[in-house]
Structure 1
Amino acid sequence: MKFAKITYWLAAIYGILVLLPGFFLEGEFNRTSPPDLTHPEFYYGFYGSALVWQLAFILIARDPVRYRPLMLVSVLEKAGFLIACLWLWSAGRLGMIGPFYGSLIDGMWMVLFAIAWIRTPLSERS
């Protein structure tokens, strides 16, 4: 259970530190990623949804046994971005730039979350 607590706390802290600045960097995104952002709802929706997941990670970290089923969902949450970026990269639509490397970091968290799920008992008595 200690592994799960540490893993999810670190993931939440890392995620908050990485995601929060994104809410203030739309202008920088437009400057470095032409053409200008045409659908800001996708941009802010991504950051908002991802930030909410950090709260779920804190919830899991506080009581891994209770929220063990949510761990599998968190594995899928990380797989979503990893798979999307790998697919886009393989199709030549995403270069080896920030989002690509970010997806590899998500892949690392995905593996750690799966290990945490395996190592977390089904109940406190297990």
Structure 2
Amino acid sequence: MSIFAFAGSLELLLVGMMVAVTPLATIALTTLLVNFRHVFYAFTFPLHVVRNPVAKTYSVYALIDEAYAVTAAEPKGWTSWRLLALQISFQTYWVGSGILGVLLAGVIPGKMEGLEFALCALFVTLALDA
């Protein structure tokens, strides 16, 4: 799911909605509402430095909270290669960690309580740093 729906909070919601067999229209509306904040990110995100149309399309796709927070904290000095490397790194870490988590979950016995707070802690840290 991380490859196609590269949006952490949406991914967490989608799992619950898929399990509950939520109607497709409700999933679509939820997706729009959850990710609508990205429209505002685009106003100050340094997308103008990316000239290649394919690279620009990817950069729009990979415009996530973390990439926005990093570029907002230091708005000057972004080049196309630097911006794309940042976004590719974030996506590689997110997808790779998800795959690693699925593989490790198969070998860890029992249920682990309390790890769901890690994503919330990440967003709080990013907000404080920004």
Higher helix residue share: 1
TM-score, length-scaled by structure 2: 0.30
TM-score, length-scaled by structure 1: 0.30
More contact order relative to length (CA 8 Å, sep ≥ 6): 1
